[in-house]
Amino acid sequence: MQAEEGKTTESLQMEMLLDVLPKESATDPTGQRLAKLITRISNKRVPVSSFSRIWTLGSLNARVTAGYFAYWLRSRFSDADKKQRLKSEAHLAAALKLFGTMGYLRGAVMKIGQMLANLPEVVPEEFAEVLSALHFEAPPMHYAMVREVFLDEFGREPEEVFASFDRQAFAAASLGQVHRARLKSGEEVAVKIQYPGIARTIKADLRNLRLLLQPLCLTTDWQNTLDKLADIEQMLLMETDYEQEASFGKEARLLFTAADRVVVPQVFDDYCTKRVLTTEYLAGCHLDEYLAGNPTQEDRDHFTNLLTVGTFRIYYRLHWFLADPHPGNFIFMTDGRLGMIDFGCTRAMTDEEWLLICELERATLELDEARFNRATAKACLFDGPEEMEPERLEIVRRGVYWNMEPWLKDGRLFDFGDREFFMRGVDSLMEMTRKRYTRGSPLYLWSNRFVFGGRAICYRMKGRCEFRKIHQQESAWLRHEPVRS
Amino acid sequence: MRISEQAKQETRVRILEKAAELFIDKGFEDSTTRDIALAAGLAAGTMFNYFPSKETMAMTMVNEAFRQGMEDFQRRRTGEEDLTEELFLFIASGLRRLQPLRPFLGPVLERSLSPFPRKTVCQEGEAARAGHLDAVQEIIVRHGFTEAPDYVAMNMYWSLYLGILAYWTNDPSPNQEETRALIDYSLRFFVQVISGVWSDKGETHAG
């Protein structure tokens, strides 16, 4: 106690910070360098370098949220009795500043935060509310701005293009906002409009992020981190191309019949450009509203089934990950169908990647440990399992087994609402992150989000489904060439 | 031979049309008044009766575009816009009319709208500036302010607007969408200043 009093606040803060930061065993074993970087940032004003900075973490809501996220993140790295101390603001401020420099990339950070919000046991309940309200906010567009976009994209005002057009957006999208409208031919549509110039912001902010991380770069895994950042950048930029998204949506729609009760909304090509996406409006609600209606177990199971069928069909027939499976992308329709929207963040696998994943799947199902280890090593970009640290191999294996668990479990129904199962998945992911065993093909960034995100939704739904049956049904399409229409 | 008013008007229009074509084709700097006179089928001396310089020609085009932009703005206004939105509509309408002239506008605007003191003041530039600022003041007053903002605020506004114009003339993005974002940010910033409302987005030093 005495020794502590003798220390200055600053050195106490540094100590606490050092304590909780992840350590890079090769170049920064004590975490000193990272701590210095964060302290340096927290003591300076970060210059405004990209446009989106004026929105400095958006609203107060977002700032508070980012702070909680930072707190949560650190608290995962420390033990229980330090949690209280961690609530002190000094490091929250540092983390805020750090996230603040990321401009658009905080969109990616925000998405992670959002994902965490969908893992309700992971984040204390009171934070989850706040976190889930947080999604990347492109600055809101007033109607005058929307009109300008229309004049550029269609040469006409919105009211000339559509029979009717709501001036107020009814939903935010990660890069813009969505308005309801009606076509002259009568269909009710959702019109997604992108905020002008956002692609450049993405590039600028990711460049800043790379620079920011530079001092920590001399690690064996830096190249891997760079590859991942490049992949993230690719994906974010892809999201700015609505024509690409329209094309994904159209392909996905063809996979489902009316009997499937899963629907991907129709795309109206005549009203689509790179910056404007017009799709069929699906009437229904999102997860929160759905759950607030106290649905029966039967109903929850029904939707869990549909969600599994929907995501699996796309996965097996097109070899795609829906890399952003958050609640906003699913519509619980009033007629009992499940709507799947927003294909902006779709990761298509290469044939090579698909083969490896199939290999992993098969090795697991056949309980062939040697084969499983080989596939796992390959996924982590090692030549063989013998090249991996035993702990790394073990921890990664645990993660992969968790992914595959619903395949392996006996019984007709798999209960995604099972808390123990879910928490094991979370712990496994956190352990991998904490120990820095995250090296791997960038593909796994997306596959993890896909699996995790999807299961988190099902967990919140407390839903069960006939997993093995669905798997058999959908993987009957298993072949090396994805089906293209 | 006496020239009728109508004939004079037609000549004016023809000169401007040819000048615009040349400016776009060869650039403003490299087009000469001789070229323009030739293209318009006039003697150089005659042409100078209509326009003393090519700067005047260019700025006449600019002012005409701004006038049309103003008309568009009046027509497009719904009365439901808030201040930021209305200012945005005003600026955007003007730029849209200015669009066909964009390829050669950089040097023109630099000369005519430069805020730095010059030996010869460009009348048309002054007219453009005054007209724009008057319109902006009118818009602001319409939104519940007790009086028009003072010269400091209007100076700030004009700097922002010049910045927007400068960026726009060189904006390589499709449809100059980045300028649109810049206009948005600039106006939100300006409106915050004159409203005296600082949102919590202010960057105060923590701790």
pLDDT tens sequence across A309-325: 999 999 999 999 887 77
* CATH topology for the B1-51 domain: Arc Repressor Mutant, subunit A (1.10.10)
Are A341 and A466 in contact by the 8 Å Cβ rule? The answer is no
Type of residue found at B132: H
The answer on pLDDT for A60 being more than 70 is no
Distances (CA, A) of A414 to A304, A348, A410, A469: 10, 27, 8, 10
Rounded CA-CA distance B119/A142 in Å is 42
Instruction: Locate the chain B residue with the closest alpha carbon to A56.
Output: B201
- How many CB atoms neighbour CB A110 within 10 A? 25
- Interface touch B88/A142, C-beta < 8 Å: yes
pLDDT tier at A211, thresholds 50, 70, 90: low
DSSP state of A24: B
B180 touches chain A (CB under 8 A): yes
| pLDDT of amino acid A424 | 86
Measured in whole angstroms, how far is the alpha carbon of residue A265 from the centre of its chain? 22
Q: Which of B58, B36, B56 is nearest to B47 (CA)?
A: B36
The pTM for the full model equals 0.77
What is this model's ipTM? Answer: 0.87
| pLDDT of amino acid A39 | 53
Rounded CA-CA distance A449/A441 in Å is 14
- How many CB atoms neighbour CB B190 within 10 A? 22
- Interface touch A147/B76, C-beta < 8 Å: yes
Q: What angle do CA B189, B195, B197 make, to 5 degrees?
A: 80
Q: Using CB atoms, which residue from A54, A93, A196 is nearest to B206? A: A93
- How many CB atoms neighbour CB A450 within 10 A? 22
The answer on pLDDT for A194 being more than 70 is yes
Q: Using CB atoms, which residue from A56, A59, A144 is nearest to B89? A: A144
Interface probe for A, chosen from B190, B201, B204 (most Cβ of A below 10 Å), is B201
Which part of chain B is CATH 1.10.357? 54-198
Length of chain B: 207
Which part of chain B is CATH 1.10.10.60? 1-51
CATH architecture of B54-198: Orthogonal Bundle (1.10)
| pLDDT of amino acid A261 | 97
Residue with tokens 């019949």: A257
Q: What is the 3-state composition of chain B as percent helix, strand, coil, each rounded to the nearest 5? A: 70, 0, 30
Least confident of A96-105, B12-21, B44-53, B186-195: A96-105
B48-90 pLDDT, tens digit each: 889 988 889 999 999 999 999 999 999 999 999 999 999 999 9
- Interface touch A89/B85, C-beta < 8 Å: no
Q: How far is B93 from chain A (nearest CA, A)?
A: 9
Type of residue found at A117: A
B172 Rama sector, left if φ>0, alpha if ψ -120 to 50, beta otherwise: alpha
The answer on pLDDT for B175 being more than 60 is yes
Q: H helices then E strands: how many in chain B?
A: 9, 0
The answer on pLDDT for B97 being more than 80 is yes
A368-391 pLDDT, tens digit each: 889 988 988 888 888 888 888 888
> Residue A360's beta-bridge partner residues?
none
Q: How far is A144 from chain B (nearest CA, A)?
A: 6
